[in-house]
Amino acid sequence: MKAMILAAGRGKRMGRLTKSVPKPLTKVGNTTLIEHNINRIKNSGIDDIIINVSWLGSSIINHLGDGSSYGVKITFSNEGKNMLGTGGGIYNALDILGKSPFWLINADLFSDYQIDVKKKLHKDDLAHLILVDNPDHHPEGDFHLKSGRVSISNDAMPLTFSGISLISPEIFRNINEKAFPLEPILNEYASKNMISGEYFKGNWTDVGTQNRLKDVKDEIGI
């Protein structure tokens, strides 16, 4: 099984911190956010990782190298200056990812969610989403979860998509564009009952702002 880390974003909400350092290389203690996620992927038993880069991508490539120092193999999908979006970035890397489902993680997450390499998608499902309680900055949530099924209806309490998921490459089978977000595709197939999910109540933070970075540091006592 492979994993992909989305690391191409500009990180504008981090202000001056990301003008010269890409957000994935933001440090929490002695470890950058992206290294935290690489280590968690490695500890799950996955050692083949694809990372897409764009904004200050050379800094990420130079910092991580081929992954050997982390005990993994890293392949970069370099989008240059033309960011392709969360969906387009994955679509652009499908030749590297192959035809089997893969774990997808946002580079700016700080979480103790345990990736399950034995997890399989249900028949006809195209994704499995990890959902969390709605954070203060996103109180409306993204999806609803009922009996392990993800939907966009309001028949259950809304939850937020964590940025962690198991994705089938088949989810992009009807795509005819290069740059696009992932969220509308997830919404489409959730409305068709083709996405499963689980609720995670452990530690999770989307480190999208300086305040949230401070919260993570305070949480772990830095």
Cβ proximity of 210 and 118 under 8 Å: no
State the average pLDDT over residues 176-199: 97
Give me the domain span that covers residue 172: 3-219
CA distance 2 to 48: 5
CA dihedral 54, 55, 58, 61 (to 10 degrees): -60
- Which pLDDT score, from 0 to 100, does residue 10 have? 75
Mean pLDDT, range 182-193, rounded to an integer: 97
Cα four-point dihedral sign 32, 181, 166, 134:
positive
Q: Residue 4: enclosing H or E segment and its boundaries?
A: strand 3-7
Residue 6 forms beta bridges with which residues?
A: 52, 106
What are the percentages of helix, strand and coil residues in the chain, rounded to 5?
30, 25, 40
Cα separation, 82 vs 129, in Å, equals 27
What per-residue confidence (pLDDT) applies to 93?
A: 98
pLDDT band at 55 (very low <50, low <70, confident <90, very high): confident
66, 74 Cβ separation under 8 angstroms: yes
pTM value? Answer: 0.94
pLDDT at 18 over 70: no
Q: What is the CATH number of the domain that holds 212?
A: 3.90.550.10
Cβ atoms 182, 116 nearer than 8 A: no
Res. 86 pLDDT band, cuts 50 70 90: very high
The answer on pLDDT for 70 being more than 70 is yes
Number of domains in the chain: 1
C-alpha gyration radius of the chain: 17
Q: Are strands 31-32 and 27-28 parallel, antiparallel or unpaired?
A: antiparallel
